[in-house]
């Protein structure tokens, strides 16, 4: 490892810590959706509103976050984001005290602002510290692995905390919320004293310069931004709907599996654990295998697994390794999809910003706007599951995965190399 890379060890470690925070807080609406479905009698559609609140904030904050990055730099943007996140999680805790669904959604919305700002910092930062290209992708995959650890812990922890169906209330999730508050507080203190390079912060003179182009001048970036919108919807929609499917009871309008919430949370945790495995593998081979080839492989495999899940009879069950729990074969196929979604974020980001040069920081802000797909796509899937059943709702996921394959095969090619980026 070179001296220059060694000097960046602490900033990289800090970015990894922020990746963990993003996953933990972003993952809360999935098990919380199961809680509010019981506590407030919410439909599948309504139970996904926590995700909508969280990710809708990205639509409002994405561009301003990119502007903050250029004006005040990575460190101050991250510190501001952590403070906002502390408030957001605090409001979610308050919703349990007052028993209000509206207050819970407000907390999810505020948390979304924080997650958007943090994502705007960590992705271009890691890509830059890695030197872009395959090396940048490798570092992003390692960061994604840390992200997966947080995502694995969240449903397992909250699933264990919520216990039996009769007693499911937001207050049961308080220990998880306190943990999130503690992480925010610790990260704020540590980051306050960490030196972070500021490669994309502009001087007042630079900000006054009007560029003749923007990230939207690049076709592969526009298609990549759409891919991010769809991808986040896939990543959230597959496990969230599976969680609802497993914990729901069979009614006249829908067929649920009636699995205990603790067990279901652990099963969903395996999905995020497989994302961790996939990202670690992606990081190990990232300098040798291109993002394009990775994306083609996982998109194709994801399409196959979702088709198998849709057409597998729920009467056929398998025993999950380690957990020793029997679940329908379709659930197992959906859980394995975690491996497929693992490298998509880093892969899409890496492909979409390749060749953007000085437009990379602005591109990151636009990317964050498109992350709102994580709230919109699962909402659409929730609507379909209310009317056509849980498994049929995965046709929405199949269409999304088909777009991922299209982007990997065709859409990621930079056809605007004539635009100056220095």
Tell me the pLDDT tens digit for each residue of 278-296.
888 887 887 788 889 999 9
Taking residues 98-122, what's their average pLDDT?
Answer: 82
Taking residues 323-332, what's their average pLDDT?
Answer: 84
Give the total number of structural domains in the chain: 1
Sign of the CA dihedral with 408 first, then 118, 421, and 199 last = negative
User: Can you give the pLDDT at residue 166?
Assistant: 45
In a domain, 199, yes or no: no
Place of tokens 């009614």: 251
Of these ranges, 109-113, 164-168, 189-193, 397-401, the one predicted with the greatest mean pLDDT is 397-401
**Beta-bridge partners for 413:** none
Q: Above 80 in pLDDT, residue 244?
A: yes
User: Can you give the pLDDT at residue 162?
Assistant: 61
In a domain, 358, yes or no: yes
User: Can you give the pLDDT at residue 233?
Assistant: 93
Q: Above 70 in pLDDT, residue 36?
A: no
User: Can you give the pLDDT at residue 5?
Assistant: 45
Q: If pLDDT is split at 50, 70 and 90, which confidence band does 298 have?
A: very high
Q: Above 70 in pLDDT, residue 16?
A: yes
Provide the CATH number for the domain around residue 70. Answer: 1.20.1250.20
The model's pTM: 0.74
Q: State the maximum Cα–Cα separation within the chain, in Å, rounded to a whole number.
A: 67
In a domain, 104, yes or no: yes
Higher pLDDT, 29 or 264: 264
Q: Above 80 in pLDDT, residue 197?
A: no
Which tokens is 107 given? 């907390």
Average pLDDT, the chain: 80
Q: If pLDDT is split at 50, 70 and 90, which confidence band does 38 have?
A: low
Q: For residue 274, how many other CB atoms are within 10 A of its CB?
A: 20
Q: If pLDDT is split at 50, 70 and 90, which confidence band does 167 have?
A: low
In a domain, 143, yes or no: yes
Domain containing residue 264: 3-193+215-411
Q: What percent of the chain has pLDDT over 90?
A: 19
CA distance 214 to 357: 11
Q: If pLDDT is split at 50, 70 and 90, which confidence band does 304 have?
A: very high
Place of tokens 């969240």: 154
In a domain, 417, yes or no: no
Close Cβ partners of 111 (under 8 Å, ≥ 6 residues apart)? 25, 28, 54, 57, 85, 88, 89, 92
Q: Above 70 in pLDDT, residue 358?
A: yes
In a domain, 70, yes or no: yes
CA distance 274 to 296: 18
Taking residues 391-419, what's their average pLDDT?
Answer: 91
Q: Above 60 in pLDDT, residue 184?
A: yes
Q: What is the per-residue pLDDT across 207-235, written as a single tens digit (0 to 9) for each?
A: 555 666 778 888 999 999 999 999 999 99
Close Cβ partners of 88 (under 8 Å, ≥ 6 residues apart)? 25, 107, 108, 109, 110, 111, 112, 113, 114
Which tokens is 175 given? 């220990």
Q: If pLDDT is split at 50, 70 and 90, which confidence band does 330 have?
A: very high
Q: Above 80 in pLDDT, residue 169?
A: no
Q: Above 90 in pLDDT, residue 185?
A: no
User: Can you give the pLDDT at residue 4?
Assistant: 44
Range scoring the smallest mean pLDDT among 99-103, 106-110, 250-254, 346-350: 250-254
Count Cβ neighbours within 10 Å for each residue of 375-387 and write b for 16 or more, e otherwise.
bbbbbbbbbbbbe
CA distance 124 to 201: 12
In a domain, 120, yes or no: yes
Phi, psi of 136 (to 5 degrees): -65, -40
In a domain, 421, yes or no: no
């Amino acid at each position: 490892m070179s001296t220059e890379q060694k000097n960046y060890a602490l900033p990289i470690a800090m970015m990894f810590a922020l990746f963990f925070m993003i996953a933990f807080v972003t993952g809360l609406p999935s098990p919380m959706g199961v809680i509010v479905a019981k506590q407030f009698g919410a439909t599948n559609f309504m139970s996904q509103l926590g995700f909508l609140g969280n990710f809708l904030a990205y639509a409002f904050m994405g561009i301003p976050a990119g502007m903050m990055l250029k004006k005040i730099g990575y460190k101050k943007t991250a510190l501001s984001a952590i403070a906002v996140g502390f408030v957001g999680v605090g409001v979610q805790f308050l919703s349990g005290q007052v028993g209000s669904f509206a207050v819970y959604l407000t907390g999810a919305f505020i948390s979304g602002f924080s997650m958007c700002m943090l994502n705007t910092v960590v992705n271009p930062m890691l890509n830059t510290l890695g030197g872009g290209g395959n090396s940048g992708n490798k570092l992003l995959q390692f960061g994604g692995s840390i992200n997966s650890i947080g995502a694995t812990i969240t449903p397992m922890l909250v699933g264990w905390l919520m216990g039996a169906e009769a007693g499911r209330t937001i207050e049961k999730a308080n220990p998880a919320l306190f943990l999130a508050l503690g992480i925010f507080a610790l990260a704020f203190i540590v980051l306050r004293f960490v030196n972070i390079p500021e490669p994309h912060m502009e001087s007042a003179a630079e900000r006054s310069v009007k560029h003749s182009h923007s990230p939207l001048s690049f076709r592969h970036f526009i298609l990549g931004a759409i891919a991010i919108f769809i991808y986040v919807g896939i990543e959230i929609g597959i496990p969230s709907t599976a969680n609802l499917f497993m914990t729901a009871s069979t009614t006249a309008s829908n067929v649920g599996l009636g699995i205990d919430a603790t067990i279901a949370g652990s099963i969903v945790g395996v999905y995020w654990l497989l994302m961790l495995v996939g990202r670690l593998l992606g990081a190990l081979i990232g300098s040798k295998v291109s993002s394009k080839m990775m994306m083609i492989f996982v998109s194709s495999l994801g399409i196959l697994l979702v088709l198998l899940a849709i057409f597998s009879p729920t009467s056929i069950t398998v025993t999950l390794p380690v957990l020793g729990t029997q679940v329908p074969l379709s659930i197992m196929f959906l859980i394995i999809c975690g491996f497929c979604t693992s490298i998509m974020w880093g892969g899409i980001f890496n492909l979409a910003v390749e060749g953007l040069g000085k437009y990379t920081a602005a591109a990151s802000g636009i990317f964050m706007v498109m992350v709102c797909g994580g709230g919109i796509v699962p909402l659409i899937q929730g609507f379909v599951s209310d009317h056509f059943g849980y498994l049929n709702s995965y046709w929405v996921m199949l269409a999304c995965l088909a777009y991922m394959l299209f982007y990997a095969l065709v859409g990621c090619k930079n056809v605007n190399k004539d635009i100056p980026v220095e």
